[in-house]
A and B are shown apart, each in its own frame.
Chain A
Amino acid sequence: MTGAGLGLSTPRVGGTDRVTGAQRFAADIAIEDVLHIALVHLDCGHAAIEEIHTSAATGIEGVVRVFTAEDFPNPVPRFGPRFADRPVIATGETKYHGEPLAAVVAVSKEAAADAAAAVRVEYKELPGVYSIDDALDPDSPLVMDPGLRTGDDPLADSNVRQRWDWGWGDVDSTEAELVIDEIYTFPMVTHFSIEPHTFAAAPEGGGVTVWSSIQHPYFLQGTLASLLDLPISKVRVHAPDPGGGFGGKGFPKYEPLVAMIALELGRPVRLVLTLEETFQAVRRTNARLQLRTGFARDGRLVFIDAIEDFMMGAYADIAPRVISKSSYFAAGPYKVESVRAVVRGLMSHTTPSTAFRGFGAPQMTWAIESQMDAAARALTIDPVEIRLLNLAGPGEEIVPGDRPADGDWRQALNIAAERVGWGEPLLPGHGRGISVGLKASATAGASYCILRILHDGSVSLIAGTSDMGQGARTILSQLVSENLGVPMERVTLVMGDTAVVPFDYSTSASRSTVFMGSAVVDACQKAIAELRGKTAVQHKVSVEDVVFTPGQISIDGAVYTLPEVLNDVFGAVPGEIIVTGSQRGEGDANHPLGGPASFYEVSCTASEVWVDFETGDFELVKHITVADVGKAINPQHVEMQDEGAAVMGLGHTLMEHLILDEHGRIVNLGALDYRIPTFKDMPATMESVLVENGDGPGPGGAKGSGEGGLLATSPAIAAALSQATGVVIKDLPLTPERVWEAMHGGDEGHEQ
């Protein structure tokens, strides 16, 4: 196999190991003499810990030790990507159902689990903040210790952790023919990576080595170095390819606990979360979005006046960024005269929410797009037409003064409409909906790589992206192959070890192809320059006379293959070309988000449904996603990702939501009770279409992709449902019960 040019669907690098079971995920890696950790938590959301009795647990054969807050420095160290508010282990109280308050270490998983069950905790359940209404109620308890807030925070005496006020123009003086005023809710949903989060640690070389299923190993390395007061070089993070991440494995969770236990015991330890514990560890930020949207008679969007509440959870994690970055784009991909958005990030006694594919944009899109459909109905304008009228064209601004539209989004919308058969007659019980979603990509960050051309002309690329299913190894190998002319099978990727692999900011925001991809191209160019320079010296010609084309060098008509060139320049003593590549986004300190987005990820979804009027259940007859990707380096990979995102979007649209009881307990813990899409939930027809205009900042004009397919899923399906049934639903998920109740005049209400 040779040739891996940009735009070719070469098979997945690493695919063979995945299909044969040879791929080693974090829990598959053998660690000699490893001890096993099981966590202890309480059966309620908010409680004061009074006494922890560990003697029964420590008496169980095989138990090494039980750790509680008392075994850690006082005060218990805290960490977090935005604020250092999360303790390594619960101290004094537990703030969410599942927060660990003790960790049992034993020689076997069985003994650890038995002992965890034998830890007896005296506790007092406390009133909890379990909903957005609770969080906004001044009589509710404060989730966060006001002492942890910095400076003179005027919000310290409330459960509002942070507030943002976005806007432009003057909403109050903007005239509108039609004002749609509605409230939309988006539920808590969990990532449900099939690989449960897995952590291990061992003391090593005066520092610590950690294994984690993490997406951002360098962030973890920095967190641990800071918590443990170690130089970064003494913290080694092994980050084997995650078995799904979707944002849930981005930032540190229980790694600090595991690392501190390993150092205290002087032995390797491992913690593999149960699936139930992963539900309690990560989720999407739920939201209530109240939008007053003004339209002119012709359908022009003239103002958005919004109050947007997002429930972050017990610790902030990265949720403030999720909220600010998504809500800043208050009108999504549309041009609008004036905006006023009051946005609040609320603390609650629930699982801390974190990044989740789409990073807040699915929540925003649900409200913005549902309003567009409401306006289309009220003004009797076609839903495609009202969107075409308002979408920003290439170069037009969506936030004044900020990065303008960088794609032909109307083209994408038109393709989606055409593919779904927009305007064609519908069968009874059928309906169609269409929607557009926008997500802003990374505003700053850096990616570095090392490229080695070995003396036989094969290539080793050392790059810190996490290949969590998006196919980073494939894309980066293709870039090397394309630029250097080295066959794919002679390129090897080295990833996932911070001791060896240079810094990469994160694997998130669909940034890897653009950032790390550009770093790889940079490295290739430097390698070519070095090859030409060395060849020129060897042949005693000027560099300009040495012509590189992929795979070969020619001098005055004589052609040399790469291995010949390397043999030539190094002679009898083998050597190699070693170069680094980098791509940095410096951001802009004066920008509200720390910098403009490096590109926009825009996706259009069009869906046709058939509704069973008897039951409220409905089937997806056709589901189309169109992604504006600039350039698909590997079209099959991009389509796989986009389809996968669409399927994930079906989850929060049709069935998924974490349900809390009055004690703040998640009552639907587990695969069957929670339910994610299965084979049987697939649309009868599903298509992914790519728009490639080469207008992105990445290699070949690529933009990032892979999140887009879920941005606009919910409003498209809800609109299709509305067309079929005549009812409008403003709360997700669109369960058969909810649909049936809406169709039969029930009070659909607003669940929180």
Chain B
Amino acid sequence: MSPTESAITLTVNGSRRTVRVSPSTTLLEMVRTRLELTGSKECCAEGECGACTMILDGEPVNSCLVLAVETDGSEVTTIEGIGGAGMTPLQESFLTAGAIQCGFCIPGMVVAATALLERIPRPTESEVREGLSGNLCRCGGYSRISAAVMAVAGGNAAT
């Protein structure tokens, strides 16, 4: 352990975790390497692609831009914390809508869309496109991703 490391305690996906991190460790790096939760992805590492999206104290964030030390005492939800034992209707909707191609952007999309629906339970399609515009998908699955979100918006989930 480096002398500059410090211990932080936070809640990740409902579990309290204490982790020692260096001042420059990002939330993404900590979650992926220290907590071994690799569902959150790294692409641009500068907050431009959304692949690393997590929910930090209720707000979606690019976890590559958040320093781990800043999250002391915070509550973090990663893709692994979405849905618990089964999948959420949103996740099911991604599957049925054909919204998943390579899948690398999908964890970030799901987390961002989950946060979006919490903020705006009945979004218009343009609100979905606006709300997810910080999440890039190079497979070009945007239409189906937005259809997947719209299908469950406002409790539209097929039951």
Contact = CB atoms under 8 A, between A and B. Distances in A.
B122 interface: no
B142 A21 contact: no
A18 B44 contact: no
A20 B39 contact: yes
A359 interface: no
Interface string A272-286: 101100000000000
Nearest to A646: B140
Interface in B78-102: 78-80, 82-83, 87, 91, 94-96, 98, 100-102
A19 B101 contact: no
A411 interface: no
A33 interface: no
Contacts of B132: 679
A30 B37 CA distance: 11
Contacts of B110: 19, 21
Chain B, interface size category, equals 35 or more
Nearest to B33: A109
A469 B36 contact: no
A644 B137 CA distance: 9
B97 to A, nearest CB: 9
Interface in A1-38: 9, 11-12, 14-25, 27-28, 30
A23 B140 contact: no
A17 B91 CA distance: 10
A243 to B, nearest CB: 3
A304 interface: no
A194 B101 contact: no
A671 interface: yes
A109 to B, nearest CB: 8
A246 B138 contact: yes
Contacts of B32: 28
A39 interface: no
B51 interface: yes
Nearest to B78: A21
A83 B24 CA distance: 43
Contacts of A637: 98
A15 B39 CA distance: 14
Interface in A229-258: 241-246
B136 interface: yes
Interface residues of A, number: 60
Given A244-B102, A275-B45, A682-B129, A16 B40 contact: no
A634 to B, nearest CB: 9
Contact of A21 (B39, B42, B96): B39
Specify which of B25, B130, B134, B143 lies most central, judged by the most chain A CB atoms within 10 Å of its CB. Answer: B143
B115 interface: no
B11 interface: no
B63 interface: no
B138 A18 contact: no
Nearest to A25: B104
Interface string A726-752: 000000000000000000000000000
Interface string A463-495: 000001111000000000000000000000000
A19 B110 CA distance: 7
A678 B133 contact: yes
B96 A11 contact: yes
Nearest to B38: A28
Given A110-B24, A274-B45, A679-B129, A243 B143 contact: no
A648 B41 CA distance: 21
Contact of A670 (B48, B51, B79, B105): B48
A677 B140 contact: yes
Interface of B: 22, 24-25, 29, 32, 36-46, 48-49, 51, 78-80, 82-83, 87, 91, 94-96, 98, 100-107, 110, 128-130, 132-146
Q: What are the 7 tightest A-B residue pairs by CB atom distance, in nearest-first order? A: A21-B39, A647-B140, A243-B104, A18-B103, A469-B102, A21-B79, A644-B140
21 contacts: A11-B95, A18-B106, A19-B91, A19-B107, A21-B37, A194-B43, A195-B43, A244-B102, A275-B43, A275-B44, A468-B102, A469-B101, A469-B103, A644-B101, A648-B138, A671-B49, A671-B136, A677-B140, A678-B136, A680-B130, A682-B129
Given A28-B38, A468-B102, 14 more contacts: A15-B95, A15-B103, A21-B78, A22-B39, A193-B138, A195-B41, A242-B102, A469-B102, A639-B98, A640-B98, A643-B140, A671-B46, A679-B135, A682-B146
